[in-house]
Structure 1
Amino acid sequence: MTRPTQIQAPGSAPGPSFEQPFGMLEACHERLHRTLALLQRLREHLGTHGADGQAQQAAVDVMRYFDQAAPPHHQDEELHVFPPLLAAGDPAVTRTVRQLQAEHVEMESQWAHVRGLLTPISAGQLGTLQPDESAAIDAFANLYASHIVAEEQVAYPAARAAMDAQALAAMGDDMKRRRDVRFASGGAAAQPPKPAAPAHPAG
């Protein structure tokens, strides 16, 4: 008898604080990579085991991350990383930023589609993915992968170099404040992703 594949949710190792806002953003990218890897393991697991308990929990974990942690991470970049780069006026960097902004919009659209697949999986109602559905998951993961590379190789270094200590402190304070507000409001982000999430779902 084939033993079930173990699908584990991405953990949350201790990371930088809001006093290191770019370190926080990079830590968010690490969690993104782990969550996308979980999504791919889920897809493979479905082919062998269907929407069993592990698959259902993995779908819940992926949805929790992209519903709760990804939106404020994108907002961090839209508010604090991209504006100083656009203001600097470097043509090559500006093209990269415009592409990253467009990809944020595309990510929202693709996530809506992928989430529509994960919802019935989380309820045990969808145990098999069609080729086009599997391709949609691949496209979503690949978009994030290339997006992260452009941010870490171009946008983050340029923005970090353009910001003084006061701007960095203000960025970190705003990142923390917006997450505190999300917790205090009792909204969707009030409960951090499991397992063992930091006090604030940083990204």
Structure 2
Amino acid sequence: MASTSAPARHVPGFSAPAVGFEEPFAMLEACHERVQRTLALLDRLREHVRQQGADESARQAARDVLRYFDVAAPLHHEDEELHVFPLLLAQAAPEMRTLVQRLQQDHVDMVADWAAARVPLQALAQGEIEGFSESAEALFDRFAARYASHIHHEERQAYPAALHLLEPALLGRMGQEMAHRRGAPER
């Protein structure tokens, strides 16, 4: 999982050179790609642990998954909560407002799912366990399934609707604020 360093702090998952904060919706979608890659890493980690145990490679993969969902994913959710959802709640049709309320609830549920799922990952990363329990495996499955559905609805419905409603000046400000939250240099 590639990453870059911002002057203020290290934020994993923000290294896609083709996408910049000047295009905030492209950045949001690129973040979804990184979520999917990190969930795929979690799947590979689970298989690796089943086949080869909790070796150093597994512990490092667990640390990578932890870092992404502890640091980058909350910033992404904050972007949506500050810039996408309020616009849709204020200006979109009733069915879109219902969708946004569901997406907001997803964020709450994903935070709770992650709090539970990170416990066995942290234990593996620290060498405290040698494998994942059945309940941990179920947590990982639920977390990944919730993200898949969430991403689908955002990219197919919420993002296009919000982009349609945003004025160009607000789009630019959105990108600047997203960059600022990540410690990116001012332009």
* TM-score above 0.5: yes
Please give the residue correspondences for 1:84-123 in structure 2 after superposition, counting only pairs within 5 Å. 84-123=87-126
Instruction: Choose between structure 1 and 2 for higher RCO, CA contacts under 8 A separated by at least 6 residues.
Output: 1
User: For 1:89 and 1:67, how far apart are their aligned partners in 2?
Assistant: 31
Question: 1:59 is matched by which residue type in structure 2?
Answer: A
Structure 1: which 5+ residue stretches go unaligned? 1-8, 184-198
1:10 CA drift (Å)? 6.0
Aligned length: 174
Deviations 1:134-163 (A, max 9, x none): 111000001001000000001000000000
Unaligned stretches of 5+ residues in structure 2: 4-14
1:32 corresponds to which letter in structure 2? V
TM-score by length of 1: 0.82
Match of 1:59 in 2: 62
Q: Distance in 1 between matches of 2:119 and 2:57?
A: 18
Match of 1:166 in 2: 169
Alpha-carbon RMSD across the aligned residues, in angstroms, is: 1.5
1:15 and 1:27 in contact (8 A); partners too: no
User: Match for residue 191 of structure 1?
Assistant: none
SS in 2 for 1:69: helix
1:151-198: per-residue Cα shift (whole Å, max 9, x none)?
000100000000010110110111111111xx7xxxxxxxxxxxxxxx
- State the SS of the aligned residue for 1:51: coil
TM-score, length basis structure 2: 0.89
Q: Give the AA of the match of 1:155.
A: A
Note if 1:28 corresponds to 2:31: yes
**In the alignment, structure 1 residue 50 sits paired with structure 2 residue 43:** no
Distance 2:135 2:126 in 1: 21
Give the counterpart of 1:176 among 170, 174, 179: 179
CA contact (8 A) 1:107 1:143 kept: yes
Distance in 2 (CA, whole Å) between partners of 1:155 and 1:46 is 37
Structure 1 residue identity aligned to 2:159: Y
The residue that corresponds to 2:18 in the other structure is 15
CA distance in 2, matches of 1:88, 1:115: 37
Are 1:110 and 1:140, in contact at CA under 8 Å, matched by a contact in 2? yes
Q: Distance in 2 between matches of 1:33 and 1:103?
A: 16
Query: Which residue pairs with 2:11 in the alignment?
Result: none
Query: Which among 145, 156, 159 is matched to residue 156 of structure 1?
Result: 159
CA contact (8 A) 2:54 2:127 kept: yes
Deviation per CA, 1:66-124: give whole Å up to 9, x if none. Answer: 11100110000000001111111411101110000000000000101111011110012
Distance in 2 separating the partners of 1:10 and 1:138: 24
Matched residue, 2:6: none
- Aligned match for 1:126, one of 122, 126, 129: 129
